[in-house]
Structure 1
Amino acid sequence: MQTQHTHELLTTDCHFCSLVSKANGEDPIGTAGTYDHWLIMEIPQPWPQEIFQENPTIKSLMGLFQELIFKHGVKLKPMLIAPDREYSHPGSTRLLYYYRPANLFSQFEKQEFVVPENEAAALVTAIFKQLMQQPNDLSKFQQYQQQTSHIRELMVCTHAQVDLACGRFGTPLYRRLRKEYAPASNGKLRVWQTTHFGGHQFAPTLTDLPQGCLWGHLEPDVLDLLVNRNGSISGLRQFYRGWAGLTKFEQIVEREIWMQVGWTWLDYLKAGEVLAQQKVSEEDDANWAEVRIDYTVPDGSVSGAYEARVEVCGEVMSALNSAKEMELEAVKQYHVSRLVKVE
């Protein structure tokens, strides 16, 4: 059935990878990526496919970025956002920097700066050097810091030059969130267009900061639930890619706990650990994993842990990129076969 459905899409639906993924029932959980830091900078559109290599400001920073990632092992996610007519300041560049505040945490801490365009590269350099524990001049940028820790930022990928699905499905979702939800928030929510942050096949994709939750395959009728959190959380299950504070198998378990506990789980401080896993090869994802999630409530009065087993429950055919000649891949699907509260 899945193969037949895929064939219909390939011949009638413009070859969008996200339509193949969704039609074949690919579960997006566990695909969020794992980050301790986010660095998000305003860069005007258009964005070419290789903007990180082609934009002069960003290109000048790539050497430091690669040193940070590969030499120092810092888990940092760079993203670009398009300036907004209402939010942005001509002649200035906005930079959002989020960081993991502790081992157990519920959301990322934020620093925001709006600097003159010609100082943006120096600011990024100072942040990179701070992360490498090297001398830096970050203090000189304090005058540009913004008090916006109360603002929730929704980031929607519309980077069509990387994958057509992100433009086709991300753009209308962005426009609806920007037009309807941001103005109704009394200044507590901003909505941005972003460059690609992984997972073309789950377009439209969204990153919710400071929480650090990622979403995919989003549909207009779940936006109220996602933004306002005013209904049954189970309605979001199939759209959840995971929380960036955890790794793949930890994300899969965390969703199950969230579905049991409800919305209050978002505020719990948490951390994960993979206790054991069975890998067939370096290139292949494990067939099972044993996972522990530790948690404490915000006031510290209650703490505990869950232990779980994650197992392969099948596979689906998916397309990782949109193309005229679609290349399909088998993708393992997982379920939580055991989940127990141990403390």
Structure 2
Amino acid sequence: MSTCTTVSRQLGEAQGATAPTATTWLLLEQPGPWGAKALTSSHLDPELGRALERAAEGTGVRIALVRRPGRHADRRTQSVRQVYAAHTLPGNSWVRSAYTAAPEELLRLDLAALGRGEHHTFDTVLRGVPHTAGPLALVCTNGKRDRCCALLGRPLAADLAAAGEHGVWEVSHLGGHRFSPTLLLLPHGYAYGRAETGAVRDALRGLREGRISLDGCRGRSAWERPAQAAELAVRALSGEHGADALSVVSTDALPAPAAPGPHGAPAAEDGTPCWEVTVAHTDGRRWHVTVARGAAGPPRPESCGAAVLGTPARMDVLAVRELSLPHAPR
């Protein structure tokens, strides 16, 4: 039987604007097996996992478990765990590092502040310090969530680690199983799919120099999907690869576009969600990008073992318009 990744590749499904969304990532080391919902189905106390899920709601923080690549001994104790916090918005992207022997300390963090990019409680509660060892590469490997993540993700994580790449971790969930192997690069929060070792190493090399690779890029997690589509479209049009050169200024809902009638004449509105996204460059340039939500057909498995076939939502860029810069005073 074909896997969800095989079908997605055969259909040529586009990956753009499918990145998981979070302004800040909070990562807790948890070796051993993970269940489908890792925060409540691993060797982490499930009550703590549920409490962390509740605390993160509406804050912009996404909490995930990480473990080092390699064989996962089924250990029920972990004396000291690595913890990372990473903020992904342009102009304020950072990674903080800490260790804890008491993961319940994470409940003392001000997650709303963390979501805004303020790391004071991370530093005071967990004795956090800047992470200066280069970008983090998080490869999704949770086979209980989707078997493709384990079959394709674990070899990628192992290959990267064996190649001497530092900061490589397995992560519990990134979404988009059909694009496996998937990974997230921090601090900038760009997600990638159908990743191969060589391409990932190139992306990491570029990121150390402040450049973003667009090869297999799914978008920046700091923004919702319409804004992800707009930012990637501007990058493709302008040739801009600077990691923090572009930011999303606004995302405004538009009236639904008219459905085509007989002979191409406009007919009634078809109800398609549509947005105008304003993307700004640090040099002052701006673009208006029109994005509409469509559906990827034909129906396909969105994950292995799914009971029904689905038509995943996709973001279609309808237009990109660069705005004229105001004339400088004479």
Q: Please say if residues 26 and 333 of structure 1, whose CA atoms lie closer than 8 Å, have aligned partners that are also in contact.
A: no
Query: Contact 1:205–1:217 at 8 Å: present in 2 too?
Result: yes
Please give the alpha-carbon distance, in whole angstroms, between the structure 1 residues aligned to 2:21 and 2:311.
23
Are the counterparts in 2 of residues 320 and 328 from structure 1 also a CA contact under 8 Å? yes
Give percent identity, aligned residues only.
Answer: 19
Q: Distance in 2 between matches of 1:252 and 1:111?
A: 28
Q: Residue 84 and residue 222 in structure 1: after superposition, are their counterparts in 2 closer, same or farther (change >3 A)? A: closer
Mapped partners of 2:314, 2:44: distance in 1: 41
Structure 1 unmatched ranges of 5 or more: 1-13, 183-188, 297-301
Match of 1:92 among 63, 76, 80: 80
1:47 paired residue number: 34
**Aligned to 2:319, what secondary structure does the other structure show?**
strand
Q: 1:141 to 1:256 in 2, by over 3 A?
A: same
The structure 1 residue matched to 2:302, chosen from 285, 301, 320, is 320
DSSP 3-state at the match of 1:265 = coil
- Whether the 8 Å CA contact 1:47–1:159 is kept in 2: the answer is yes
The number of residue pairs the alignment matches comes to 296
Q: Which residues of 2 match residues 153-302 of structure 1 at below 5 A?
A: 153-182=136-165, 189-229=166-206, 236-237=214-215, 239-262=216-239, 264-268=241-245, 270-278=247-255, 286-296=272-282, 302=283
Q: Residue 17 of structure 2 contacts residue 229 of structure 2 at CA under 8 Å; is this kept in 1?
A: yes
- Note closer, same or farther for the CA distance 1:285–1:125 as it changes in structure 2 (3 Å cut): farther
Contact 1:38–1:79, Cα closer than 8 Å, also in 2: yes
Work out the CA distance in 2 between the residues paired with 1:84 and 1:164: 17
Give the letter for the 1:262 counterpart: G
Going from structure 1 to structure 2, the CA distance change for 1:138 and 1:172 (only over 3 Å counts) comes to closer
Equivalent position SS for 1:52: helix
Aligned equivalent of 1:186: none
Q: CA–CA distance in 2 between the matches of 1:337 and 1:201?
A: 25
Which of 90, 94, 105 is the aligned partner of 1:109?
Answer: 94
The C-alpha deviation readout for 1:83-125, integer Å capped at 9, x for no partner, is: 468xxxx721111012356xxx24632221012x2x2211x11
1:315 maps to a residue whose letter is A
Using a 3 Å threshold, how does the CA distance of structure 1 residues 56 and 171 change in structure 2: closer, same or farther?
closer
> Structure 1 stretch 244-253 or stretch 263-272: which is displaced more?
263-272
Aligned to 1:328, the other structure's residue is in SS state coil
Deviation at 1:51, TM superposition (A): 2.8
SS at match of 2:31: coil
Structure 2 distance, partners of 1:48, 1:150, is: 30
From 16, 27, 33, the equivalent of 2:3 is: 16
What TM-score, normalized to structure 1?
Answer: 0.75
Cα distance change of structure 1 residues 45 and 291 upon mapping to structure 2, 3 Å threshold: same
Alpha-carbon distance between aligned partners in 1 of 2:277 and 2:53, rounded to the nearest angstrom: 31
CA distance in 1, matches of 2:190, 2:66: 18
Distance 1:203 1:321 in 2: 10
Secondary structure of 2:188 counterpart: coil
Partner in structure 1 of residue 261 of structure 2: none
Q: Which residues of structure 2 form unaligned runs of 5+?
A: 71-77, 258-269, 326-330
CA distance in 1: counterparts of 2:230 and 2:148, whole angstroms: 28
Q: Which among 2, 7, 12 is matched to residue 25 of structure 1?
A: 12
The letter for the 1-side match of 2:254 is: Q
CA, structure 1 residues 286+206, in 2 after alignment: closer, same or farther (shift >3 Å)?
farther
Give the distance between the partners of 1:37 and 1:234, measured in 2 at CA.
19
Higher helix share: 1
State how far apart, in whole Å, the 2-side matches of 1:137 and 1:273 are.
Answer: 29
Does residue 38 of structure 1 match 2:21?
no
Residues in 2 aligned to 1:326 and 1:15: alpha-carbon distance in whole angstroms: 14
Identify which of structures 1 and 2 has the higher relative contact order when contacts are C-alpha pairs closer than 8 Å and 6+ apart.
1
Q: Give the C-alpha shift of residue 15 in structure 1.
A: 3.3
Q: Spell out the pairing of 1:58-69 with structure 2 (5 A cutoff).
A: 59-69=47-57
